[in-house]
């Protein structure tokens, strides 16, 4: 079983994301702990959020008081609703949240049936439940649940500290060939990517690009690759380098075999549905492009967008460092294709996840000063970074009057509390 822990600020966004699944009959509420039962048995976003108000109002220092957790058993595990509830209760107890309000949703819209739990780490006295070792405790809790409920054990990851530390190429530092070699020679060993486009998306994180070339020798057409370094604007700089300089695995023939192998691996990749679900959640709740990218980056997923000279989005790629796989949006679903994101970011038409409803939004500019998305790979603790990252479900969504009303009520109550103190 795989657990993801998301940490955010907006309780409304987390609850409304799950409620949308319920409304579309792709999910249901399994358990509500310390949340009053509705009169008609149908929970609403407003009602659930009100149950968290006393805890969130007591918060003084916690920047991200909301926890959005997903528990994902192996697809081969057939888990009943009753057992899902027992698993959720046991997991929350192991994590120290047994006394907190929380609500458990079951999602059935993808082949990997799973549950989401929304709660808060702030207690009624305003103190925060310690979370410094959340990931390690979560892993221990999952292993315990696997044994107790006879679940398929999650596959242990290989030791990450055996991986080379990949660093983006810095052309100004010189010795560009050696810098590029330190990346190019190893990427195929650690990442799955099904074509040259996805390979270049991955390379772009390290300021490198590959270009196909062809020519004739003794009447025979030969094809190959050359590599360029990229500058801060993503443009080619300096001279090209032949692929042979970086070993046979960097050549076109070897890479084409890697593409085919990757297609086979990715066709049945267990992380595919988890990644798709996370992207759809971000699409549903993010307000603009930078929000969308940041929320996925906090889950260890880079978003690489390709635009033409007119700024039209013609390609989008998701690089999941947890599973070390690279996906074009259209591979994951039509609702994640480039056209969907072009309509959102350029035309202000946002399609929420798999719905057909759209909201008019103001087109959001691309932030050229965005923090280096790959800086964590050069950190001395990089082999632990992705294990520490939770699947942060986004904090916000398009303009919603119910959400605005909830936020305004919270602000008024905070002002009243400050006036009384």
- Where are the chain's structural domains? 2-156+400-420, 162-267, 272-388
Secondary structure class of 281 (helix, strand, coil): helix
Domain spanning 2-156+400-420, CATH architecture: 2-Layer Sandwich (3.30)
- pLDDT tens profile 387-404: 322 332 233 333 344 555
Which band of pLDDT confidence, cut at 50, 70 and 90, is reported for residue 310? very high
Task: Give the residue with greater pLDDT, 112 vs 314.
Answer: 314
Q: What is the pTM of this model?
A: 0.67
Q: What rounded mean pLDDT belongs to the chain?
A: 82
Mean pLDDT confidence for 241-248: 93
Of these ranges, 4-18, 142-156, 300-314, the one predicted with the greatest mean pLDDT is 300-314
CA–CA separation, 131 and 119 (whole Å): 14
Q: Which residue has the tokens 């509830």?
A: 85
How confident is the model at residue 99, as a pLDDT? Answer: 96
Do the Cβ atoms of 65 and 122 come closer than 8 Å? yes
Quickly list DSSP for 55-86.
HHHH-SS-S--EEEEEEE--TT----HHHHHH
Mean pLDDT confidence for 300-322: 94
- pLDDT tens profile 162-210: 445 678 999 888 889 999 999 999 899 999 999 999 999 999 999 999 9
Mean pLDDT confidence for 80-84: 96
For residue 409 the two structure tokens come to 């009520």
Quickly list DSSP for 40-51.
TS---HHHHHHH
- pLDDT tens profile 138-164: 999 999 999 999 999 987 544 444 445
- pLDDT tens profile 256-277: 999 999 999 999 887 888 888 8
How confident is the model at residue 41, as a pLDDT? Answer: 83
For the chain, how far is it from start to end, CA to CA, in angstroms?
46
Secondary structure class of 22 (helix, strand, coil): helix
- pLDDT tens profile 403-412: 556 666 666 6
How confident is the model at residue 86, as a pLDDT? Answer: 97
Which band of pLDDT confidence, cut at 50, 70 and 90, is reported for residue 379? very low
- pLDDT tens profile 88-141: 999 999 999 999 999 999 998 777 899 999 999 999 999 999 988 888 899 999
């Amino acid at each position: 079983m795989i657990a993801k822990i998301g940490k955010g600020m907006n309780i409304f966004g987390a609850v409304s994301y799950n409620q949308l699944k319920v409304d579309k009959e792709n999910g249901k509420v399994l358990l509500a702990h310390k949340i009053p039962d509705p009169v008609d048995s149908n929970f609403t976003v407003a009602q659930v959020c009100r149950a968290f108000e006393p805890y969130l109002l007591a918060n003084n220092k916690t920047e991200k008081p909301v926890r959005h957790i997903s528990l994902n058993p192996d697809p081969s595990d057939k888990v009943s609703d009753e057992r899902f509830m027992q698993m959720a209760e046991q997991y929350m107890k192991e994590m120290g949240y047994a006394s907190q309000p929380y609500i458990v949703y079951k999602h059935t819209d993808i082949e990997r049936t799973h549950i989401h739990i929304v709660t808060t780490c702030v207690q009624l006295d305003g103190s925060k439940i310690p979370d410094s070792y959340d990931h390690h405790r979560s892993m221990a809790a999952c292993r315990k649940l696997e044994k107790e409920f006879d679940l398929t054990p999650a596959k242990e990851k290989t030791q990450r500290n055996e991986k080379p530390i990949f660093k983006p190429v810095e052309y100004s530092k010189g010795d560009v060939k050696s810098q590029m070699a330190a990346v190019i020679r190893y990427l195929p060993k650690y990442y799955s990517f099904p074509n040259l486009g996805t390979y270049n998306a991955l390379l772009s994180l390290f300021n490198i690009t590959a270009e196909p070339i062809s020519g004739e020798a003794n009447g025979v057409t030969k094809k190959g690759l050359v590599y360029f370094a990229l500058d801060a604007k993503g443009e080619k700089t300096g001279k090209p380098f032949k692929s042979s300089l970086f070993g046979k695995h960097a050549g076109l023939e070897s890479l084409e075999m890697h593409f085919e192998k990757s297609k086979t691996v990715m066709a049945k990749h267990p992380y595919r549905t988890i990644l798709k679900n996370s992207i759809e959640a971000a699409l549903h709740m993010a307000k603009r492009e930078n929000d969308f990218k940041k929320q996925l980056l906090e889950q260890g997923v880079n978003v690489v967008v390709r635009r033409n000279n007119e700024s039209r989005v013609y390609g989008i790629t998701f690089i999941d460092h947890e599973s070390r796989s690279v996906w074009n949006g259209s591979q994951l679903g039509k609702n994640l294709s480039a056209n969907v994101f072009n309509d959102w970011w350029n035309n202000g038409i946002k399609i929420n996840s798999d719905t057909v409803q759209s909201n008019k939004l103001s087109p959001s500019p691309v932030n050229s000063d965005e923090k280096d998305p790959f800086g964590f790979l050069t950190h001395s603790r990089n082999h632990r970074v992705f294990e520490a990252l939770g699947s942060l479900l986004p904090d916000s969504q398009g303009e919603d009057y119910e959400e605005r009303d909830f936020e305004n009520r919270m602000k008024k109550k905070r002002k009243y509390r400050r006036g009384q103190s």
